[in-house]
Amino acid sequence: MATTIKNSLIPLTFLVFIIIYGLCEDCSLNNINIGTVRSGKEIEGKPEWEVTVINNCSCSQSQIKLSCKGFQSSESVDASVFAKQGDFCLLINGNPLKAFSSVTFSYAWDPPFLLLPSSSLAGHDCS
């Protein structure tokens, strides 16, 4: 009887592990959405743009990098939110962007930059 219960728990434990951790493997760059809208302000003659980065995944994603080759701004951008590192920009110092959360920053330039997600790491804290 004890052997039967033990043999049943092993596959059940494995299934729970796959369900919990397997969901995070579905997180990808496709789950990171970036929206850019004009704020209505002008900084040094350049329109200001408000950028919102959304993690549309049931797990957090960290080390989010956006392609930002040639990025410039006539206003300072909070480096703890968006830090330029060569042709890539690191979001929130590489910290996790929680499931279904967003972060926003602003910059001023004309024309607006096309910011695209280039890499991230999925967490194991699926909701």
pLDDT in tens, the chain (127 residues): 555 555 554 444 443 333 444 444 578 999 999 999 999 999 999 999 999 999 999 999 999 999 999 999 999 999 999 999 999 999 999 999 999 999 999 999 999 999 999 999 988 777 5
pLDDT of residue 25: 54
Q: Cβ(48)–Cβ(39) under 8 Å?
A: yes
- CATH number for the domain formed by residue range(s) 2-122: 2.60.40
Cα distance between residue 91 and residue 54, in whole Å:
11
SS3 content of the chain, % helix, strand, coil (to 5): 25, 40, 35
Cα distance between residue 100 and residue 58, in whole Å:
7
Asked if the bond preceding 111 is cis, omega within 30° of 0, the reply is yes
Query: What pTM did the predictor assign?
Result: 0.78
